[in-house]
Structure 1
């Protein structure tokens, strides 16, 4: 199975309508049932109820389209998107796709720990699960520990695009 996914779109996957600066959009990562690969759909927030993903949705995050002349997405917007996506992975328990979901959870937890959004509780684990504390909400989350190879990291980076800092 492959992790390759298109980068952020300039128009909705569903309607083909262009994203204009200031538009709220939602990105969903799903497993394509036919190809067995991860897929990504970028849609207008108002289209969310209309979308029928061609497979199991692993997670999602929302973002605001920036004016191309303003430059890149701000760091705070990027961290918020990563945080949204991380929590959505726990809402949409992956079932058959647990391995991919676990790898995404682990990678995002490490990134959010680096940004001080999450804090590891107890001694650092090398296998099993690591408990993290979400600093703002005081919510505890058990994150599966997976081996993240260089190849896996590159594939996930292609999948998630700008939310990996």
Structure 2
């Protein structure tokens, strides 16, 4: 299974103003009050006005690119966004979404290993797989277990609104 993060929204989630080419945008992946997975794209100038939910899974930055970028660049952009999402999962520590965060880390880790962005470091030890982030040379430890199929289905259904 290969999940790709949807492209950047064309307007700010806080102000509703359209993004201009070259604008810097912060993307948030979080659970709303109803427990639904959501994504919000916010202009960097409006980040302080964004009501940060408690259950933020991750955040990353993007630059607004012109529409109609070629397919190859779009795939590279989606892969970079996926990589940034994976890395951001290690920065957030909300206990409300710890189980989801671990599942995201595991799935994204496997996907990024396949894309050669992460390199596994031997076999899992004590239920943890170590990955080397090739570019930064930083080691990341990810849960290594057989995910519950019901959890994978639940996450996949929630991601339908965020991924293509």
Q: TM-score, normalised by structure 2?
A: 0.79
Which residue matches 1:43?
A: 42
Deviations 1:29-74 (A, max 9, x none): 1121x21222221111222233222332110122222322335552
Q: How does 1:130-145 map to 2 (within 5 A)?
A: 130-145=129-144
Cα separation, 1, equivalents of 2:82 and 2:148: 18
How far is the alpha carbon of 1:152 from its aligned partner?
A: 4.2
Contact 1:12 1:19 in 2 (8 A): yes
How far is the alpha carbon of 1:156 from its aligned partner?
A: 5.5
Which residue matches 1:105?
A: 105
RMSD: 2.6
Which residue matches 2:12?
A: 12
How far is the alpha carbon of 1:92 from its aligned partner?
A: 0.3
Cα separation, 1, equivalents of 2:112 and 2:158: 15
Deviations 1:80-132 (A, max 9, x none): 2112111111010231211110111111111111111111111257x822111
Matched, 1:151 2:150: no
How far is the alpha carbon of 1:148 from its aligned partner?
A: 6.5
Of the structure 1 ranges 142-151 and 132-141, higher mean CA displacement relative to structure 2 is found in: 142-151
Decide whether aligned partners of structure 1 residues 139 and 69 sit closer, same or farther in structure 2, where only a CA change above 3 A counts: closer
Decide whether aligned partners of structure 1 residues 152 and 43 sit closer, same or farther in structure 2, where only a CA change above 3 A counts: same
Cα separation, 1, equivalents of 2:53 and 2:121: 37
Matched position secondary structure for 1:14: coil
Which residue matches 1:91?
A: 91
Of the structure 1 ranges 101-110 and 53-62, higher mean CA displacement relative to structure 2 is found in: 53-62
Contact 1:12 1:18 in 2 (8 A): yes
Cα separation, 1, equivalents of 2:88 and 2:23: 21
Q: TM-score, normalised by structure 1?
A: 0.79
Structure 1 gap segments, 5+ residues each: 1-5
